């Protein structure tokens, strides 16, 4: 039984700035079928409002309350714990955390900072971490696909900091079970009746399976041949979002 669907964004609905062919229509079909949908992303290069606008301008019918981002979850976490972070994040994302920054940082927050991952910034973060402040990561993804090829995500930089400071990051985005749980709670869906669809076999699919959800891997975005071996017998691997929607609608009527 499938009662709800969670979609990853980058690599599933679009690559770079281009929607996956047919994706807009497939989402429309799923909306018509009345299944609750949430979009959950570790993307940390843009604030939530901008991601939403970009999706809508590509033609996707997505409402604000359907979009859960790792930065929004990280913001809640920082406020709840009373933390003022040193921000090792993309300059475009700084607006989401500007009111939490202070001169006396008692945490390090890392996202996909892109070209802001300089030696100087990494070293500033490292110096705080060796003093014992917590390292908070909005994702540990290895890489993602841009229009011109694969690009380094936040993961390699998080691991470098963990290694240097001999610490372990607190992970906020996927595959953290709390992140999946927050999505399920927002639609009152049971984990075992919810499917997570993603192009990242580890953060999206294995993360979801470990949190008790069902999973589908798509062969678009960052998918690389052989990824499906990591989920053999636990989840299916389908060509793209269009095939996924057909598959889900089939299951629903059977
Ligand atoms: Mg993705």
Tokens found for residue 101? 């920054």
CA of 227 to the centre of ligand 1 (A): 14
198 and 151 together in one domain: no
- For residue 159, the enclosing domain spans 81-171
CA of 175 to the centre of ligand 1 (A): 12
Pair 37, 30: CB distance under 8 Å: yes
CATH number of 231's domain: 3.40.50.1000
The predicted pLDDT at position 101 comes to 80
CA of 178 to the centre of ligand 1 (A): 18
CA of 103 to the centre of ligand 1 (A): 34
Residue 115 inside a domain? The answer is: yes
End-of-domain residue from the set 106, 137, 171? 171
98 and 152 together in one domain: yes
CA of 43 to the centre of ligand 1 (A): 8
The predicted pLDDT at position 145 comes to 87
CA of 33 to the centre of ligand 1 (A): 24
End-of-domain residue from the set 128, 152, 171? 171
φ and ψ of 194, to 5 deg: -120, 140
- Near ion ligand 1, which residues have CB within 5 Å? 8, 10-11, 199
CA of 221 to the centre of ligand 1 (A): 7
Distance (Å, rounded) from C-alpha 207 to C-alpha 5? 15
187 and 157 together in one domain: no
CA of 130 to the centre of ligand 1 (A): 32
Secondary structure in 3-state letters for the chain: CCCEEEECCECCCEECCEECCCHHHHHHHHHHCCCCEEEEECCCCCCHHHHHHHHHHHCCCCCHHHEEEHHHHHHHHHHHHCCCEEEECCHHHHHHCHHHCCCCCCEEEECCCHHHCCHHHHHHHHHHHHCCCCEEECCCCCEEEECCEEEECCHHHHHHHHHHHCCCCEECCCCCHHHHHHHHHHHCCCHHHEEEEECCHHHHHHHHHHCCCEEEEECCCCCCCCHHHHHCCCCEEECCHHHHHHHHHHHHHC
CA of 99 to the centre of ligand 1 (A): 29
User: Could you list the mean pLDDT of each consecutive 10-residue stretch along the chain, which spans 254 residues?
Assistant: 95 94 97 96 93 96 95 95 97 94 91 97 98 97 91 97 98 95 94 97 97 98 96 97 97 74
What is the domain count for the chain? 2
152 and 189 together in one domain: no
Residue 246 inside a domain? The answer is: yes
Distance (Å, rounded) from C-alpha 216 to C-alpha 196? 6
CA of 167 to the centre of ligand 1 (A): 27
Give the number of C-alpha atoms closer than 13 A to the C-alpha of residue 41, restricted to the C-beta side. 22
CA of 93 to the centre of ligand 1 (A): 18
141 and 114 together in one domain: yes
165 and 178 together in one domain: no
Pair 26, 245: CB distance under 8 Å: yes
Nearest to 156 by CA among 96, 114, 123, 219: 114
End-of-domain residue from the set 171, 193, 225? 171
CA of 8 to the centre of ligand 1 (A): 6
CA of 235 to the centre of ligand 1 (A): 17
Nearest to 223 by CA among 4, 40, 10, 45: 10
């Amino acid at each position: 039984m499938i009662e709800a669907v969670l979609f990853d964004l980058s690599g599933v609905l679009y690559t770079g700035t281009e929607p996956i062919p047919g994706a807009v229509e497939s989402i429309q079909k799923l909306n018509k079928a009345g299944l609750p949908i949430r979009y959950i992303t570790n993307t940390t290069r843009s604030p939530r409002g901008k991601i939403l606008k970009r999706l809508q301008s590509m033609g996707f019918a997505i409402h604000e309350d359907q979009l859960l981002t790792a930065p929004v979850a990280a913001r809640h976490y920082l406020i709840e714990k009373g933390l003022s972070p040193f921000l090792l994040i993309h300059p475009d994302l700084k607006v989401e955390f500007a009111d939490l920054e202070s001169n006396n940082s008692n945490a390090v927050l890392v996202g996909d900072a892109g070209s802001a991952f300089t030696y100087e910034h990494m070293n500033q973060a490292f110096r705080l971490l060796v003093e014992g402040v917590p390292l908070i990561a909005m994702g540990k993804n290895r890489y993602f696909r841009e229009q011109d090829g694969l690009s380094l995500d936040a993961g390699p930089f998080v691991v470098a900091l963990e290694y240097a400071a001999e610490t372990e990051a607190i992970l906020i985005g996927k595959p953290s079970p709390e992140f999946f749980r927050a999505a399920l709670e927002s639609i009152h869906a049971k984990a075992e009746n919810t499917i997570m669809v993603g192009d990242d076999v580890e953060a999206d699919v294995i993360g979801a399976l470990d949190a008790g959800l069902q999973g589908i891997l798509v062969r678009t975005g960052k998918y690389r041949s052989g990824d499906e071996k990591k989920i053999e017998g636990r989840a299916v691997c389908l060509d793209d979002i269009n095939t996924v929607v057909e598959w889900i609608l089939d299951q629903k009527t059977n």
